[in-house]
Amino acid sequence: MSPRRNRPKGAGSSGPSADEDRSGRYGGWQSTESWQGEEWSVRHVAGASAEGKTYRCPGCDQMIPSGVPHVVAWPEHSGVDDRRHWHKACWNAKDRRTSRVQRSRNAPRF
């Protein structure tokens, strides 16, 4: 008895191409959204891709712990230096938040 085939006969390539792999390389998918009159590239990052790294969310000014799924967003016309890491909920609520984060007097400034 021969083993079961999981792929149809004559399947063209054995894996995704380099172009298809870019969106999934970091564990998520990438899209383009319009916000504040600009086009933003938005990449969803899986927690496993963020292992060992922490980021500060610009939406809530809190830390995104290591290994937590989150969103990376940047204006399309800008470079790597303008990427920001957001909590998913903060990115989804960005239009409902105030433009300036209010901190207490003794809170550290980052």
pLDDT 10s digits, 45-60: 887 877 888 999 998 9
Helix, strand, coil percentages for the chain (3-state, nearest 5): 15, 25, 60
Per-residue pLDDT of 60-109, as tens digits, reads: 989 999 889 999 999 988 877 889 999 999 999 988 865 555 666 676 66
More confident residue, 11 or 68: 68
Strand, coil or helix: what is 23? helix
The distance from CA 76 to its chain's CA centroid, rounded to whole angstroms, is 14
pLDDT at 29: 78
